Structure 1
Amino acid sequence: MKRRSTVVAIVSGKGGVGKSVTAVNLAETLAVMGERVALLDADFGQGACGILLNETPLASVLDLALGRVELDDVLHPTRSGFTLVQAVAEPGQADGHHEALYRTLDWLLKELRHTHTFVLIDAPAGTEGPVRWALDRAQLGLLVIVGEPTAIADAYRLCKLLWQRAPHYPLGCVVNFADTEAEARSVADRFAELTHHFLHHQPMYLGWVPFSVQVRQSVHRQQPAVQSPGPVRNAFQRLAEALVRGVVEQPASCLTS
């Protein structure tokens, strides 16, 4: 029996916490495991996925929305074997076209779910429209956090928005840039205590990614860090296995209503 496709929205409260790097490496890992993966860069400003992969799609979702191209022009096959889709190619292009862009993204997402087992949506940081759209359409939100006070505060604001509108929304968290597993668990536990105390909910802890020079070097090389063996690859392998085993199916959250 054909397995249902799973949509995961990868989000963060603020920029600079490694969200897009997480999205790219998770897509690579799932593809290596044999999953049919699409990575949708839903940033309407300046998407990072293509840059991190050193891949340049022929066209964007906006081009499709404006009738300039066909669907196949938007689906970019990467060297790693997964499909890369970018909402816009350049900053500012989405201005005045948001309604058409969201309408086309909805249609495109349905098409991607027919042909892929995982659709990862790399949403921009914060709580603006594309973030709400991504969470609305996903079965799971994957929140990337780091143990830094302003990042925790911004992540809390995102959780507050989400759970006030959709109290039962499944949200997992990944701790990035941790030196040890104990440190990562401590960050996750403190964040869970914060959200449980004030919001009466807490995210599922799905794993951690170590702070590593390997990641920084991979960004400079514009290729996923998981292509090289080591702790980073192992961390993403565990995260990918957790997603394959236990993703929760959930209706849309109605954040965009």
Structure 2
Amino acid sequence: MKDQAEKLRLRLNGNSEVKTPKTLAVVSGKGGVGKSNLSLSFSISLALKGNKVLLFDMDMGMGNLDILMGKSSEYSIVDFFEGTISLRETIMEGPEGMKYIAGGSGLSHLVGLNDDLIHSFLDELSGLINEYDYVIFDMGAGVSEATLKFILSVQEIVVITTPEPTSMTDAYAIMKHIHLMDSSIPFYMIVNRFQTEKEGQQTFLRLSNVLKTFLGRDVFCLGMVPDDRAIQLAVRRQIPFILFNQKSAASKSMKQITERYMERQFSQLPSTHTSIHFVSKLKKFLFER
């Protein structure tokens, strides 16, 4: 009884341990590799496992998550930066209980906003993200000064590539850029649109070997998604492919990726990147002079 009373007292006083979400940035070196599509189905797959998921569209000026879901979002992050609504009001309901924030061109001017507005954004974000198990940032292709600050603040980075040589080269380039800024953030990789199992494995091995040779870094294979016609049909019908055909090869691969990620099935698994809260890190980067 004494222990229960103590726990209740701490909870009422706001001193109980606060759950912090796992924060991930999904990146690619170039556009057109299916990054947003994978981010969306990965988020839905996590939600189907009983997790609370928030997917944040950070593809500045080119956000398309709502289009992939066949939705017309009432609000986007731009509305918040224009002072129209609160950050919580930008959160929209997605499939299977997952939540998302639609993107907009306002984020491209994040570094130029006044300090009061940025502080307001960070304060509201801090109060929101602890309500989720996973907060996933679907970043735009490549990297900019503004988006790099978000990427460096997350706990883990998922890199999307395809077997195309240009995609692989650009994937390495973005990992190298991030590595030079912070060599401790774990890299995970998803190989998308492979034609054969051998091609997918070779793609990962080539990038893994280059990363190890030139940067001394490991990258962990999260999984591979085949070039599946079901994805093309799902995009046309504006239905996330994980829901369009759950028996398709792509859907099965995404389910395996989700299980592998949640169960942390990796050799030499990296320790948690940092105990510093995402918003605290982001605030430091944004106000660095």
**Fold shared, TM-score > 0.5 on shorter chain:** yes
C-alpha contact 2:78 2:107 (8 A) present in aligned 1 = yes
Q: How does 1:74-113 map to 2 (within 5 A)?
A: 74-88=90-104, 91=105, 93-94=106-107, 96=109, 98-100=111-113, 103=119, 106-113=122-129
Task: Note the aligned Cα RMSD (angstroms).
Answer: 2.4
Q: Which deviates more from structure 2 when the two are superposed, residues 132-141 or residues 204-213?
A: 132-141
Structure 1 residues 106 and 248, CA, compared in 2 at 3 Å: closer, same or farther? farther
TM-score (norm 2): 0.80
Where structure 2 has 5 or more consecutive residues not aligned to the other structure, the ranges are 1-16, 265-269, 275-280
Q: Distance in 2 between matches of 1:102 and 1:25?
A: 30
- Identical aligned pairs, as a percentage? 24
For this pair of structures, how many residues does the alignment match? 254
Deviates more, 1:49-58 or 1:30-39: 49-58
Q: 1:159 to 1:60 in 2, by over 3 A?
A: same
Query: Aligned residue for 1:154?
Result: 170
Distance 1:181 1:104 in 2: 47
> What's 1:233 paired with?
251
Structure 1 range deviating more: 175-184 or 218-227:
175-184
The Cα of 1:86 is off from its aligned counterpart by 2.1
Offset at 1:207?
Answer: 0.4
Assess if the C-alpha contact under 8 Å between 1:58 and 1:73 holds in 2: no
What is the deviation of 1:231? 1.5
Residue 29 of structure 2, aligned match among 13, 20, 23:
13
* CA deviation after TM superposition for structure 1 residue 157, in Å: 1.0
Structure 1 pair 42/96, CA: closer, same or farther in 2 (3 Å)? closer
- Structure 1 position 58, deviation (Å): 1.9
Compute the displacement of 1:124 (Å): 0.2
Greater relative CO, 1 or 2 (CA 8 Å, sep 6+): 1
Contact 1:25 1:224 in 2 (8 A): yes
Q: Match of 1:244, as an amino acid?
A: M
SS of equivalent residue, structure 2 residue 97: coil
Q: What is the CA distance between 1:61 and its match in structure 2?
A: 2.0
Structure 1 segments of 4+ aligned residues over 3 angstroms from their partners? 1-4, 93-109, 252-257
* Structure 1 match to 2:75: 59
Answer yes or no: is the 8 Å Cα contact 1:9–1:138 preserved in 2: yes
- Counterpart residue number, 1:172: 188
Look up the equivalent residue of 2:49 and give its one-letter code: M
Match of 2:221 among 191, 197, 205: 205
| Runs of at least 5 residues in structure 1 that lack an aligned partner in the other structure | none
Aligned counterpart, 1:30: 46
Asked which structure has the greater CA Rg, the reply is: 2
